[in-house]
């Protein structure tokens, strides 16, 4: 039971990570094609917000 729950949680984590990477790559390609850096900047703002969680 615990093993299957751990496996399910690992799979969900892995899928979430892949979805996040795919989204980030999509934003980067879109920004580069359109020559508009705002989506990049928004993505950086989100990454910065998450990075700050590691601040004591």
Partner 1 sequence: MIGTLVKGSRFERLLNAHLHIAGALIGAGIVGLALSSLGSFLPRLISLWLLTCLCIAYGAMELGYLSLPLPETGHQVPASWRYLLPSPVTALLYGLVLGPGIGTRIASASYGALLSLVLLYGPPLQGMLVLATCGLTRAVGTVITAHMSRRNPAEGMALGYSLIQVWRSLNALLVGLLAGCLLVEAVIMTR
38 binds partner 1 per the rule CB under 8 A: yes
CA–CA separation, 38 and 19 (whole Å): 21
29 binds partner 1 per the rule CB under 8 A: no
5 binds partner 1 per the rule CB under 8 A: no
CA–CA separation, 1 and 9 (whole Å): 12
Shortest separation between residue 3's beta carbon and partner 1, angstroms? 22
Closest CA to 27 of 47, 2, 12, 8: 47
Binding residues for partner 1, rule: CB under 8 A, are 24, 28, 31-32, 35, 37-38, 40-56
């Amino acid at each position: 039971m615990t093993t299957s729950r751990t496996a399910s949680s690992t799979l969900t984590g892995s899928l979430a990570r892949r979805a996040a990477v795919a989204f980030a790559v999509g934003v980067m390609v879109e920004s580069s094609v359109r020559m508009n850096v705002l989506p990049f900047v928004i993505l950086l703002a989100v990454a910065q917000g998450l990075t700050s969680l590691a601040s004591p």
